[in-house]
């Protein structure tokens, strides 16, 4: 079975910034509270005419250019998102058309904040099956479209953005995906959800009046699960591969709360310089956090060819997991 490696990365965030000080003028909150409880300073917000597929296309173009290939060289395209342009056609179809990728297939993958982690795994397995040579995995979310900006408990958390990773066979068996551990637990479904808009509660005047088309979260329940599960997934994955936190070059976690990442890193015995945190500048961009954090790790010289890297995420569902890679470029 061929190994699957990440061979290129592209990211996009919209230019407009929403700072904690802006939020102070919108809801009863403070820069100090947001910073202390979450680590967020600012987040990027898409212009009204920009949708998820627009950001996905921008990120995809950067990844393709970095690798020096055309969209027509791709075999498959996955878009990981909880904010598709619409339910159908899939955002993958919209992106495929805009990129001009010919004769490929693809689909959207929804696993809330674990979407991109799962997408990387699915993409890698398409390559490992030997049936695909170039799979583009995009994580893109326009969270600002499903946030109630009068609800201080959620509106401070999220931002918009996109990232794309190209996954290809690795000529060298030493590089690429080593192992993964994913787990879903639907008993936590009520803790974080967008209640209306689906078949259970179709959109109506009533659902809009009751703001059920926005994100609703029991923050503490999610926090408790995330702190426990992110560590447990990493610990188990590392243990069964005979790797310790000290052997890792980099820990790249979903960016939902600085305290969750810090707690995971501390328990794994990871020194701060190996833990990538950029929630301060982007907030929680849901499906885009892992590629955005990878970009920072690369540009800051903290992720280098040959490094062991663990990706970890926890999200609504609950969904959770971690994957271990040896970085290939």
Instruction: Find the catalytic residue in 234, 250, 253, 254.
Output: 254
205 given a catalytic annotation: no
Q: State how far the Cα of 22 lies from the Cα of 24, in Å rounded to an integer.
A: 5
Let me know: does 75 contact 104? Beta carbons within 8 Å. Answer: yes
Residue 193 or residue 302: which is nearer to ligand UT7 going by CB? 193
DSSP sequence for 65-124: HHHT--GGG-SEEEEE-SS-SSSSS-HHHHHHHHHT--S-EEEEE--GGGHHHHHHHHHH
Least distance (Å) from ligand UT7 to the CB of residue 228?
12
Residues forming the site for ligand UT7 (CB under 6 A): 29, 33, 37-38, 113, 152-153, 156, 192, 219-220, 222-223, 226, 256-257, 260, 284, 315
250 given a catalytic annotation: no
Q: State how far the Cα of 189 lies from the Cα of 296, in Å rounded to an integer.
A: 32
Residue 192 or residue 328: which is nearer to ligand UT7 going by CB? 192
Least distance (Å) from ligand UT7 to the CB of residue 188?
10
What Rg do the C-alpha atoms of the chain give, in angstroms? Answer: 19
113 given a catalytic annotation: yes
Least distance (Å) from ligand UT7 to the CB of residue 305?
30
Least distance (Å) from ligand UT7 to the CB of residue 176?
27
Least distance (Å) from ligand UT7 to the CB of residue 307?
25
Instruction: Find the catalytic residue in 80, 113, 155, 253.
Output: 113
Angle between helices 31-38 and 258-268 (to 10 degrees): 30
Sign of the CA dihedral with 284 first, then 80, 118, and 211 last: positive
Ramachandran sector of residue 50 (left: φ over 0; alpha: ψ -120 to 50; beta: rest): beta
Residue 104 or residue 253: which is nearer to ligand UT7 going by CB? 253
Q: State how far the Cα of 276 lies from the Cα of 268, in Å rounded to an integer.
A: 14
Residue nearest ligand UT7 by beta-carbon distance:
219
> Would you please indicate which residues are annotated as catalytic (active-site) residues?
113, 254, 284
């Amino acid at each position: 079975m061929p190994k699957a490696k990440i061979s290129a990365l592209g990211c996009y965030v919209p230019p407009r910034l929403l700072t904690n000080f802006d939020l102070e003028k919108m809801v009863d909150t403070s820069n100090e509270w947001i910073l202390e409880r979450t680590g967020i300073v600012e987040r990027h917000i898409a212009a009204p005419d920009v949708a998820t597929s627009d950001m996905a296309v921008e990120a995809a173009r950067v990844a393709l250019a970095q690798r020096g290939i055309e969209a027509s060289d791709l075999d498959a395209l996955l878009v990981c998102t909880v904010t598709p342009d619409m339910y159908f056609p899939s955002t993958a179809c919209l992106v495929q058309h805009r990129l001009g990728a010919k004769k490929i297939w693809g689909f959207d993958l929804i696993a809330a904040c674990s979407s991109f982690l799962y997408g990387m795994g699915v993409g890698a397995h398409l390559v490992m099956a030997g049936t695909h040579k170039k799979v583009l995995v995009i994580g893109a979310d326009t969270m600002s479209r499903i946030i109630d900006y009068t609800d201080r408990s959620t509106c401070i958390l999220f931002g918009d953005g996109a990232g794309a990773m190209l996954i290809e066979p690795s000529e060298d068996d030493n590089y690429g995906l080593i192992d993964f551990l994913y787990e879903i637990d639907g008993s936590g479904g009520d803790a974080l959800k967008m209640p209306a808009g689906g078949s259970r509660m179709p959109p109506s005047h009533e659902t809009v009046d009751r703001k059920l088309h926005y994100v609703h979260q029991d923050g503490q329940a999610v926090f408790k699960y995330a702190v426990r599960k992110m560590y447990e997934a990493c610990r188990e994955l590392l243990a069964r591969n005979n790797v310790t936190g000290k052997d890792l070059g980099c820990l790249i976690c979903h960016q939902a709360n600085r305290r969750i990442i810090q707690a995971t890193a501390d328990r794994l015995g990871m020194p701060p310089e190996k833990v990538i945190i950029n929630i301060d500048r982007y907030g929680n961009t849901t499906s885009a956090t892992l590629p955005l954090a990878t970009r920072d790790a690369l540009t800051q010289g903290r992720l280098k060819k040959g490094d062991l890297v663990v990706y970890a995420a926890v999200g609504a569902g609950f969904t959770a997991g971690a994957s271990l890679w040896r970085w290939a470029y």
